[in-house]
Amino acid sequence: MATRNRTLLFRKYRNSLRSVRAPLSSSSLTGTRSGGVGPVIEMASTSLLNPNRSYAPISTEDPGTSSKGAITVGLPPAWVDVSEEISVNIQRARTKMAELGKAHAKALMPSFGDGKEDQHNIESLTQEITFLLKKSEKQLQRLSASGPSEDSNVRKNVQRSLAMDLQLLSMELRKKQSTYLKRLRQQKEAGMDLEMDLSRNRYKPEEDDFGDMLNEHQMSKIKKSEEVSLEREKEIQQVVESVNDLAQIMKDLSALVIDQGTIVDRIDYNIENVATTVEDGLKQLQKAERTQRHGGMVKCASVLVILCFIMLLLLILKEIFL
């Protein structure tokens, strides 16, 4: 697809017009020109994940054009900090999920050791991730804007975008957990079958001591199945807990996330909607103002204040004449 860059031509015109417009400007100004950066300090690019932002609220005036001069490079609104925090948390959660994936893989590999510390590692990682997700979700609610302004639209959109990321992360976590558990269960069952086969093989040639052998093997089988059921119960507990946590997160998030492919996901629908909600909001505000002004409360209060004054006056008069 073809494009055409007109920036050079534009800059050429701009420079020539600038020199025409202010032919008496000092040479120092022209000296500091560099590639389109004006006399005003430009804000460094504010990426959401870039912590090295310059917040300098410097306002300079262009001595060349006095009245039109200053753009105050102000601070971005405070909620941007909150959104940055959330995205930093999401990033942290993502790296931890990668670690979790590796830990899962390691735990699934057959090993000589007990595997207890692997389990411990996995548990702690999962807990950390869930905690991060929960915290992010709570902070996300704080981002909810009030009042119909342009800034609130930006806030709402930032909120939606972060909600989408959070939802994807939680679903990924769920999937990772469920595949891990499934594989774990498969392994355990395979291990158990193997052991049962081995024990059966050992069992067959010693049919003479049928009774005693039976008891022993039965006892060990019962013990094994007990262990297995205990473990399964523990796993089920884990699954239930994580399902609960994540279900809560998903429920809250689904209110914020856009359903893809529906009318809400259309840019033109959102623009029209914004226009109408801003108008509606304005009407509501005006109506509220009007009712407040003509409100009964105001009248009541003013009447009471006047009565107070009258009473005070009467009191003073009483004192004077008595």
Partner 1 sequence: MVLVTSVRDYINRMLQDISGMKVLILDSETVSNVSIVYSQSELLQKEVFLVEMIDSISVSKESMSHLKAVYFIRPTSDNIQKLRYQLANPRFGEYHLFFSNLLKDTQIHILADSDEQEVVQQVQEYYADFVSGDPYHFTLNMASNHLYMIPAVVDPSGLQRFSDRVVDGIAAVFLALKRRPVIRYQRTSDTAKRIAHETAKLMYQHESALFDFRRTESSPLLLVIDRRDDPVTPLLNQWTYQAMVHELIGLQDNKVDLKSIGSLPKDQQVEVVLSSEQDAFFKSNMYENFGDIGMNIKRMVDDFQQVAKSNQNIQTVEDMARFVDNYPEYKKMQGNVSKHVTLVTEMSKLVEARKLMTVSQTEQDLACNGGQGAAYEAVTDLLNNESVSDIDRLRLVMLYALRYEKENPVQLMQLFNKLASRSPKYKPGLVQFLLKQAGVEKRTGDLFGNRDLLNIARNMARGLKGVENVYTQHQPLLFQTMESITRGRLRDVDYPFVGDHFQQGRPQEVVIFMVGGTTYEESRSVALQNATNSGVRFILGGTAVLNSKRFLKDLEEAQRISRSGSHMV
Number of residues in the chain:
322
Q: Give yes or no for residue 263 binding partner 1 (CB under 8 A).
A: yes
Residue partners of 137: CB distance under 8 A and separation at least 6? 166, 249, 252, 253
Report helix, strand or coil for 37: strand
Report helix, strand or coil for 149: coil
Euclidean distance between CA atoms 92 and 99, whole angstroms:
11
Q: Give yes or no for residue 196 binding partner 1 (CB under 8 A).
A: no
Euclidean distance between CA atoms 224 and 35, whole angstroms:
76
Interacting positions 154-173 with partner 1 (CB under 8 A): 154, 157-158, 160-161, 164, 167, 171
Euclidean distance between CA atoms 216 and 239, whole angstroms:
35
Number of CB atoms found within 10 A of residue 89's CB: 19
Report helix, strand or coil for 279: helix
C-beta of 40 vs 196, nearer to partner 1: 40
C-beta of 6 vs 318, nearer to partner 1: 6
DSSP state of 34: B
C-beta of 25 vs 199, nearer to partner 1: 25
Contact flags string 50-69 toward partner 1, x per CB under 8 A: ---------------x--x-
C-beta of 267 vs 297, nearer to partner 1: 267
Q: Give the shortest CB-71-to-partner 1 separation in angstroms.
A: 6
Angle subtended at Cα 315 by Cα 309 and Cα 317, rounded to the nearest 5 degrees: 105
C-beta of 100 vs 163, nearer to partner 1: 163
Of 92, 96, 174, 224, which lies in the binding site for partner 1, with binding defined by CB under 8 A?
174
Interacting positions 7-46 with partner 1 (CB under 8 A): 7, 9-11, 13-14, 17-18, 21, 36-38, 40, 42-43, 45-46
Q: Is residue 90 a contact partner of residue 165, using CB atoms and an 8 Å limit?
A: yes
Assigned token pair, 263 = 């009318």
Interacting positions 215-254 with partner 1 (CB under 8 A): 236, 239-240, 243, 246-247, 250, 254
C-beta of 187 vs 273, nearer to partner 1: 273
Interacting positions 88-147 with partner 1 (CB under 8 A): none
Residue partners of 1: CB distance under 8 A and separation at least 6? none
Of 224, 270, 277, 281, which lies in the binding site for partner 1, with binding defined by CB under 8 A?
270
Assigned token pair, 298 = 């105001």
Q: Give yes or no for residue 178 binding partner 1 (CB under 8 A).
A: yes
Q: Give the shortest CB-73-to-partner 1 separation in angstroms.
A: 6
Residue (of 137, 105, 103, 99) closest to 117 by Cα position: 103
Size of residue set near partner 1 by CB under 8 A? 72
Interacting positions 274-303 with partner 1 (CB under 8 A): 275
Q: Give yes or no for residue 76 binding partner 1 (CB under 8 A).
A: yes
